[in-house]
Structure 1
């Protein structure tokens, strides 16, 4: 009898990280790809962060991995930083297409929600968040 091996949160996160590394999304940003807490605070580039969010074990392991894509703000006429909406739209589309095209195999991936862009006051940057459901068979 063959038994299925369970995966850890780090293994799921690393799988998504590896899939991102060769993606058009990753090639389209000017920064780097990071695991959850490894992005330097001083970075103001278009970085991508992969973070394990939640999971449940059982007959089929399932959960959520979050991908955050930071983007650089542009100056408003008064000099304050504001969202580069054209770039945000481009990043949201690239992220959505990437999730839709993820391969199947031992994992089944699907979008958990709609890609959305928010502001991170601590980083002084906008970021696009896309949550990915996974099922591991």
Structure 2
């Protein structure tokens, strides 16, 4: 739940325009492959691997287009903008922006997950 909250926007991590908690919750309930990844975001101390990033990318694609079968967020972005005439603020972020968003959300989720540990060394946000 911590990773879901930080990933979908909270006080310290931005949210994406037009995507609220309700929408994200419905996508989560229909895309249960993300459960393991959300748990890993909170508990792992290593970087996010390519497999987890692919699942997170797919989750974000579904946030913007639930019927999509695309796997690449940049392809989804192009499709929604060119074929479905979505406004620029209502299309997914680029892959690079999404990667930075995931890093920030992961950092926040890990801090919350370890908030009761009096000796927890907060990781550097620059790494």
Say yes or no: TM over 0.5: no
How does the TM-score come out when normalised to structure 2?
A: 0.35
- Greater RCO (CA < 8 Å, at least 6 residues apart): 2
Determine which structure has the larger strand proportion and give its number: 1
Question: Which one has the largest radius of gyration?
Answer: 1
How does the TM-score come out when normalised to structure 1?
A: 0.34
Determine which structure has the larger helix proportion and give its number: 2
